Structure formats: structure tokens, C-alpha cells
Amino acid sequence: MRHFIFVTRAVPAPTLELLQAELPGCQVVVNQQDRNLSRDEILAAARGASGLICTLADPVDRALLQGLSPALRVVATYAVGTNNIDLEAARELNIRVANTPGVLTDATAEIAVGLMLACARRMVEGDAMTRAGRFHGWAPLLHLGRGVYGKTVGILGAGRIGKRVAASMHHGFGCPVLYASRSLHADWESELGARQVPLDDLLRQSDFVSIHCPLTPETRHLLNAQRLALLKPTAVLVNTGRGPVVDEAALVAALRAGRLLAAGFDVYEREPALADGLKDLPNAVLLPHIGSATVETRDEMGRMCAQAVADVLNSREPRHPVA
């Protein structure tokens, strides 16, 4: 059988190579436009596809899944999170769904730690000052930031990435670690000396807060204006998890008023749009969702997606099923 696979964005070559190796003669169509497609565009382009490789920006909702059924047998998302996919509808329609867990832990943790350092030491502001010719030589009061060593780090969400960030800050910078999670994690406590605390206490006590929780109805705007007001005026907030966990309008107001030192973003509430005023704030470091953007990580994510599609279409169980 000659399978048709639709890929919603251009992907690294190993993705396509593995598909051709595992599904000889398959037809693979890749969206070559430098933008995300709408639901209707995906529906039109993927009509008749037995496999779909998507990204976290694609609306893989009930309407799309129903429109591609019964031909569609598997969806592989180029991500860990699946909040953009209607898993219940996929189960009802007998469409398998797989993701790419584990492989992007290190890369995303690197970005979270990098944002903490960039915010605390005002690196982006310093770069802009130097490029603009406003650096006139060393001075005792020039461009003061905040130190990192020994400061308390609060981790919101106790998954793989959160733990790697906690370990990097604890072992690398001697930082005490707090974490907020629905369950106790004995390994965090034994390996990192971490303490589980209620979220509000974590916000009050931490010098750095790093967000790593999934997006659910309960976590949407978890950090609202009231909770942001609990942060120290010297605190740094970093979000490499999911944008809508933070009320961005409230955060812009807090940053503008100096109610916290700085914030670093790799994800946004209405991505790729930015909250009004965010891009104008000198104490906000803004990245274009590059948490997993290393050659090694993106290649492996592509292989995992391709393998999941091939496994299902070859009547095998996918290695990382979520539905």
C-alpha cells in the first residue's frame, strides 16, 4: 500500500529519510510555506493522508480529525505537549497520537538557564548599549545587574525539564531549590535538597521562578496579577513552558512598574503575537520559541515523529503513544 503522509511544516532531512526507509514508496507532502496553516488549509492539503506530522501550533481539533477520517490513522506531533490535539476525538475515531518526550529536555533546560542569566545580568540591554556606541569604558556603576550564585530558584512544574533546570542551577550555581507540584518528588529532595512548597510561598521566596508546567484549564493564567504581585521586586520570571500559564498583560504592567526585576520568554500567550507593550520593555528578554532548537534535538524529534507514523502504518505499537 502506498501511504500518503502530510507534514505541516518543513522538517529536518532525517525525518523524511526515515519515512522513506520505513515506508518504501510513500508519498510525503511537506508544507513549504514559512507560516502555520489554518485548520481548513491542513484539511485540504492532508485529505486522504494516512499519517499526519504536526507541530504544537496546529489546531488538530475534532473538526480536523473528523475531516481526515477514516483515512487518517496516526498523528505524530513534533512536540511533547499535546494541548493542541483533541485526544478524546482521536480515540473515538481510532486515530493514534504520539509525541516526542525526553529528547528535548536538555535543550529546553539550556534556554531556561540562559534566560535566567541574561535577565539577571542584563545581557541583552548590554549588547544593545554596546552596539549603539553608548559604552564609553568601564565604570563602577556601569550597567549593574543581580548575581546568580546562591540565589533561590523556584520551579513551577516538576517534570523532566524542570528537574534539569533545578539540577543545573543547584549544582552549577549553588542555588537552593523550591518546587511547586501536585505531588511530592522524593528524588528532587534527595538529589537536590529541594523543598516542595505551595505556589504562593514559592513566588514569595524565590529569586528566580522558572515555569515548566503543562497548559491545562487549571494552569491557564495560573500566574495572574495577584500572584505576580507576590514576587520580589528583585525577582526574575522565566517561561519556557506554555505561554498562557502567565497573564501577559498583567506581567507587562508589573515589569513596567518595576514590581519585578525582569522576565525571560520563549513562549507567549497568543503566539506568535506579543502582549501590548512587551517588546518595548528593556527588562524583558524575548526569544522566538527556540527551546528545542538545536540541530541534534530537532533531528531526533523528527526521527521520533517519523518512527511513530511508520510504526502505526506498519501495524506496530508506537513507542510514545498518548492516544
> How does pLDDT run across 274-292, given as a tens digit for each residue?
999 999 999 999 999 999 9
DSSP per residue, 73-92: -EEEESSS--TTB-HHHHHH
Reported as a pLDDT band with limits 50, 70 and 90, residue 307 is very high
pLDDT reported for residue 213: 94
Confidence of residue 178 (pLDDT cuts 50, 70, 90): very high
If pLDDT is split at 50, 70 and 90, which confidence band does 195 have? very high
pLDDT at 304: 97
Q: What is the pLDDT of residues 152-174, one digit of tens each?
A: 999 999 999 999 999 999 999 99
Catalytic residues: 242, 271, 289
CATH of domain 4-103+295-313: 3.40.50.720
**Cα 322 from Cα 312, distance rounded (Å):** 13
Q: Is the pLDDT of residue 1 over 90?
A: no
- Per-residue confidence (pLDDT) for residue 110, from 0 to 100: 98
Q: What are phi and psi for residue 159, nearest 5 degrees?
A: -95, -165
- Enter the C-alpha cell of residue 257: 512598574
pLDDT value at 94 more than 80: yes
In degrees and rounded to multiples of 5, residue 132 shows phi and psi of -85, 0
Express each pLDDT in 43-75 by its tens digit: 999 999 999 999 999 999 999 999 999 999 999
Rounded average pLDDT over 191-218:
96
Work out the widest C-alpha separation in the chain, in whole angstroms.
72
Predicted local confidence at residue 11, as pLDDT = 96
The number of helices, as runs of H, and strands, as runs of E, in the chain is: 12, 12
Q: Round to whole Å and give the CA distance between 268 and 247.
A: 10
Spell out the domain ranges in the chain: 4-103+295-313, 105-286
Does the structure show a pLDDT above 90 at 122? Answer: yes
- Domain 105-286: give its CATH code: 3.40.50.720
For residue range 234-246, what is the model confidence (pLDDT) as tens digits? 999 999 999 999 9
| pLDDT recorded at residue 47 | 97
Please report which confidence band the pLDDT of residue 93 belongs to, taking 50, 70 and 90 as the band edges.
Answer: very high
Instruction: Specify the DSSP element, H or E, that contains 131.
Output: helix 123-131
Chain mean pLDDT for the chain? 97
Pairwise CA distance, residues 222 & 232, whole Å = 17
HSE toward the beta carbon, residue 42, CA cutoff 13 A: 28
Q: Determine the pLDDT at residue 300.
A: 97
CA distances from 271 to 101, 217, 318 (A): 22, 18, 30
Instruction: Evaluate whether 4-103+295-313 and 105-286 have a shared fold.
Output: yes
Rounded Cα distance, 291 and 264, in Å:
12
